[in-house]
Amino acid sequence: MSKITVVSHDTGGAEVLSHWIKYNPGDYVYAVGGPAREIFKKNLGIINFLSLEESIILSEKIYVTTSWGSNLELEATKIALEKGIEVICFFDHWTDYENRFFLNDVQYLPNKIWVGDKYAANLVQYHYPNINIIRGKNFFLESIKNYIEEQKIDRRIGKSNDNQKVLYIADNIEDACKASFGDPLYLGYTEIQAFEFFMENINLLDKQIDSIYIRPHPSDKVFKYEHLILQYKNVLMEQSGKELKEIIKEYDVVVGTESMGMIVGILANKKVYSCIPPFGKKSRLPHEEIIHLRDLL
C-alpha cells in the first residue's frame, strides 16, 4: 500500500481529518503543524511528524485541509501538483469556499474535494463544478452527536423554563479576514460589533436571560473581551478549558456568527442564533435550524 501524506494546520480541519483517518486505516505520514498537531495526537495517539519535503517524497497521494492561519496546506498542494501527486482536500466548514486555494494570488486546485454533508456538497458543486466531489461520513460531528446523546442531561429539571443560560461562541473575524483577504472588515463587521449587536437586541430572545458566557476563539488574545464583561451585566467568561461537547449540556441557547460551535449547538438540540449585525454580510451557514437575530428586528 502506498503512503499517504497528511497535511493540516488549523483546528477545524484537523478535527475532521484526524477523525476520518481514525476510521480509515492506512499507511500515513504526517506533515502537520500549528494547533493541528495537538488535535492529531489527541485523536490518533503518538505521531512522528515529518517535514513537508520529507513526507511528500514518501507518498503517492496527499490529504490536506484548509487554513486561514497558515499556507502549509497550499504549499503542499502546489508541490504535489507539480510532482503529479493526487491531492484530496477535506473541507470542514461551509464558508469562504471560493477563496480557499489561492497562494500568492495563484490558485492551486486539488484533484478532489471531500465533504461531509449535502450542504457542503452543493456549495462545492457551485464553486468548483469541474472538481470531483467525495461525499463521506463526518466522523468528527458524529463523535460529538454520540457523546451528547450519551451524556444528555436536562438542566431544566427543577428550575424554571423562563430563564436561560447563553453560551456565546466567539469568532476571530478581524484576524481571519485580514489573513485571508487583506481586509479585517471584509465581512462588513467585527467580532466586537457582533457581540454588541447581540446584547443590544437580547430582548428578541423568547425567554429571560440569566447569564451569558463568552467562549473565546482559540486564536483570540487574552483579555480581548474583558471590556465587554465590565460593560454588560451578567456577562462572564467561559473558563472551563473543556471541549465544547463537554459543556454544551450546561446551556440553553448558543449564539455566534458563523462558528462550528453553532453546529454543535444544533446537534445538541439547543436553540441557536446568529448575531451578525444588519450592516454585515449575511451568514454563509446554510443550516435551516439557525435563527438569524437580524431577521427578528
Task: Delineate the domains of the chain, giving CATH numbers in brackets.
Answer: 3-137 (3.40.50.2000), 155-296 (3.40.50.2000)
Q: What pLDDT shows up at residue 161? A: 56
Q: Averaged in consecutive runs of 10 residues, what is the pLDDT profile of the chain (297 residues)?
A: 89 95 94 94 92 90 92 96 96 90 94 95 95 96 90 51 84 88 92 96 89 90 89 90 88 94 93 97 93 96
Print burial letters for 83-121: b (CB count within 10 Å at least 16), e (below 16): eebebbbbbbbbbbbeebbeeeeeebebbebbbbbeebb
The pLDDT score that the predictor gives to residue 152 is 67
Q: For 149-168, how does the pLDDT look when each residue is reduced to its tens digit (9 = 90+)?
A: 887 644 444 344 567 899 99
Q: What is the pLDDT of residue 158?
A: 39
pLDDT reported for residue 240: 86
pLDDT of residue 179: 82
* CA distances to 98, 116, 167, 266 from 287, in Å: 19, 14, 19, 9
- Cα 51 versus chain centre, distance: 25
Question: What are φ and ψ of residue 86, in 5° steps?
Answer: -65, 135
What integer pLDDT is reported at residue 235 of this predicted model?
93
- Which of 84, 127, 140, 131 lies closest to 111 in space, CA to CA? 131
Cβ contacts of 64 within 8 Å, gap of 6 or more: 6, 7, 8, 73, 76, 77, 87, 88, 89, 90, 110
